[in-house]
Amino acid sequence: MPQSPFQKFPTEDVTRNFLPREDQCSPEYAKLEAERLWPYVWQIACRMEEIPNVGDFVTYEVVDESIIVVRTGPDEISAHHNVCPHRGRQLTEGCGKARFFKCRFHGWEFNLDGSNKAVIDRKDFGDFFTDEDIALKPVKVDTWGGFVFINMDPECEPLADFLSPVDDYCGRFNFENLRFRYYKTAIMPCNWKTAMGFFNEFYHVQQSHPQLIEHMEDYSNSGGFGRHTAMWYDNDSIYPFQRSSRLPPAPKLDVRDHIRGVVTEFHNNLGAMASGRSYRLLERLDGIPAHLSDMEVLGEWARIQVEEALAEGAAWPMELTPEYMLASRLDWHVFPNTIYLHGSIDSVIWYRFRPNGYDPDTCIMDVWSLELYGEGQAPPLKREFYTDWQDPAAKWGRILDQDFANMLAVRKGMKSRAFKGSLMNPIQELSVTHFYRCLREFMNEGPKAGSGRGEVMPEAAE
Ligand code: FES
Ligand SMILES: [Fe+2]
């Protein structure tokens, strides 16, 4: 990446307490991202199970770039720029299966590995071009957690280095064994980073999702790990099942009621973060002896789920320990555009956000509910796409409806002449500001910039 002649958007202007408005509102900023972020950063193109067989492909798009991700062997995936080297026609749209790629303009053909298979009337061209000239242009590809990542920068760092330390904290969850419960995509009415900002902090839960806090802790800490960020509870618990610590004292409920409350809400009103298995197992809660302590009940609840999962032939991640789960935090934002909440182990919600062209006021959001199914139990993959996020057919459920209800109002509010930027919570929203700071740094200094590499922890509240 060429060095910036100047820093149009200085990294230092984003602090723990303040987020300038232009990152989310300015067309110039969106243009800069297209030039300096997306062509140089690792990003999720698809899940591996979307391309299980040789020849299966997905077309991944971000702003003006289009990439073909194709399975070329049982353990081999390739990625190519989706452009015919003859006169530039795109070769694929969406997903499909191919033995080779054929251009519909003049009929040139390409093997799955990107090499040229046929040039019509090749003799006409003499020795004008090399094999490389007439092949598809390669894109870096690698996998982690069952996801296929691509990077358009031939000089990019290895994916494992880029992701560090996410794998150290979350690798034992074996995300590669999860399968889609649902896959929904919609055009949302705000900037991709604005939309993302509804999912990488818990500060909004008490106001936006008030039904949750009777049964769930929500006061959180957050911080940066390299360019990535995470959120966590400070109470050394791996379980959310309690009345929020921010609520006034009330008669204590049985922990079973909190488990029922949380699992039912997430299962029925999000379709994620509570598996079908855990929902079915709620009926066994009453069988747990009444005299046990809260911690013993939680231990039994965990034991029942593992036992049932193994009986169903699900690949439960047996290397997880309570200590590892505690250290792994609750929610990760993997730079730049994906977020997941993995605490319930067998039901993980994963979000991906992309700009919608150069429009700073809309974005493309994917919501992936991923679940650990028993042997042969995963439903067939069905991708749902909504040009209108308010389409009732999307059936987002109460929790996402609550988040989405804020999006347009935030976008509109930020346009006000009275609004210069966001006044950020330096503890619970550090996960948001750290990301914006790392994004500016990445665009100003290039992908090898270093200061986003350490840990950035919240300041203690006064
Ligand atoms: S543009 Fe593809 S063969 Fe001509
Ligand atoms: Fe939310």
In the DSSP assignment, the letter for residue 86 is T
Give, as one character, the DSSP assignment of residue 229.
E
User: Distance from the CA of 135 to the center of ligand 1, in angstroms?
Assistant: 12
For residue 84, the ligand 1 atom closest to its alpha carbon is 2
- Amino acid letter for position 395: K
DSSP category for residue 99 = S
- The preferred substitution site among 102, 103, 136 for testing ligand 1, maximizing ligand atoms within 8 Å of CB, is 103
Does residue 336 have a cis peptide bond before it, meaning omega lies within 30 degrees of 0? yes
Domain residue extents for the chain:
43-152, 174-456
pLDDT above 70: percentage of residues in the chain: 97
pLDDT band with cut points at 50, 70 and 90 for residue 404: very high
Q: 18-45: per-residue pLDDT in tens?
A: 999 999 999 999 999 999 999 999 999 9
pLDDT tens-digit series, residues 347-395: 999 999 999 999 999 999 999 999 999 999 999 999 999 999 999 999 9
Q: Give me the percent of the chain exceeding a pLDDT of 90.
A: 92
**Residue 1: pLDDT over 70:** no
- For residue 89, which atom of ligand 1 is closest to its CA? 1
Summarised one tens digit per residue, pLDDT across range 311-320 is 999 999 999 9
Give yes or no for a contact between 440 and 12, defined as CB atoms under 8 angstroms apart. no
Helix (H) or strand (E) holding 300: helix 294-311
Question: How many whole angstroms from 89 Cα to the centroid of ligand 1?
Answer: 6
Q: Say if ligand 1 is within 6 A of residue 104 CB.
A: no
Ligand 1 in reach of 398 Cβ (< 6 A)? no
CA of 150 to the centre of ligand 2 (A): 28
Contact 106 CB / ligand 1 (< 6 Å): yes
| Segment 203-243, tens digit of pLDDT | 999 999 999 999 999 999 999 999 999 999 887 788 899 99
Contact (CB, 8 A) for 436 and 224: no
Q: Which ligand is nearest to the CA of 107?
A: 1
The stretch 8-16 carries a mean pLDDT of 93
CATH code reported for the domain at 174-456: 3.90.380
- In this prediction, residue 451 carries a pLDDT of 60
pLDDT at 252: 86
The per-residue pLDDT for 460 is: 66
> Could you tell me if the CB of 86 is within 6 A of ligand 1?
yes
**Contact 89 CB / ligand 1 (< 6 Å):** yes
Identity at 218, one-letter amino acid code: D
> CB neighbours (10 Å) of residue 71?
22
- Is 4's pLDDT higher than 80? no
Q: Is the pLDDT of residue 462 over 70?
A: no
Listed residue (403, 36, 382, 422) closest to 199, CA to CA: 403
CA 42 / ligand 1 centre spacing (Å): 29
* Chain mean pLDDT for the chain: 95
Looking at per-residue pLDDT, the higher value among 448 and 49 belongs to: 49
Per-residue confidence at 3, pLDDT binned at 50, 70, 90? low
In the numeric block, the tokens 């990294």 are attached to 11
* pLDDT one-digit tens code per residue, 112-169: 999 999 999 999 999 999 999 999 999 999 999 999 999 999 999 999 999 999 999 9
Hey, which residues does 421 pair with through a beta bridge? 20
Angle between helices 398-414 and 255-269 (to 10 degrees): 70
Helices (H) and strands (E) in the chain, counts: 12, 21
Give the architecture-level CATH label for domain 43-152.
3-layer Sandwich (2.102)
Pair 134, 114: CB distance under 8 Å: no
